[in-house]
Amino acid sequence: MKQIPIKLGPVALLLTVISICLTVMAILTFSTAGADKAMADMFAGSTQTRYALEQRGQEFLQEADQILAGGGQLTDLPEAEAADGGVEKVFEEEGYRLTVRLQPAEGGDYTIDQWTLEKEWEEKDTIDGLWQPDF
């Protein structure tokens, strides 16, 4: 019986290349997952801040409703400043600013003249901890 010689050189080279590729892909997967988590954490923090400001604005509207229901006027709102014939209150938190302006309306009611949530844009060259996973 004649034996066929097995040449392991090309097979070993192919398996080595495949192993290196899989290792590089695994490293890239872990670092990308860490960067995605860092970005998601940043977005979650800004969303929580924006929602907290929205809640404070809604509480301000609730105060206005209670004062007007009790026979008061918009100028009786605590910490509200007079603005353009109505009142305005500004809420600030972590660089975000919510401005709520109310105008008196007929029948002892009010209209929301302005509801603006804004943040000044800041250029960032790098994001701390983006490519340094903490796992």
The CB density around residue 101, as the number of other CB atoms within 10 Å, is: 19
Please report, in tens digits, the pLDDT of each residue of the chain (135 residues total).
678 877 788 889 999 999 999 999 999 998 888 888 888 998 999 999 999 999 999 999 999 999 988 888 888 888 888 888 889 999 999 999 999 999 998 888 899 999 999 998 877 777 666 655 555
**Which pTM does this prediction carry?**
0.72
Q: Is 93 helix (H, G, I), strand (E, B) or coil?
A: strand
Contacts of residue 122, Cβ cutoff 8 Å, sequence gap at least 6: 95
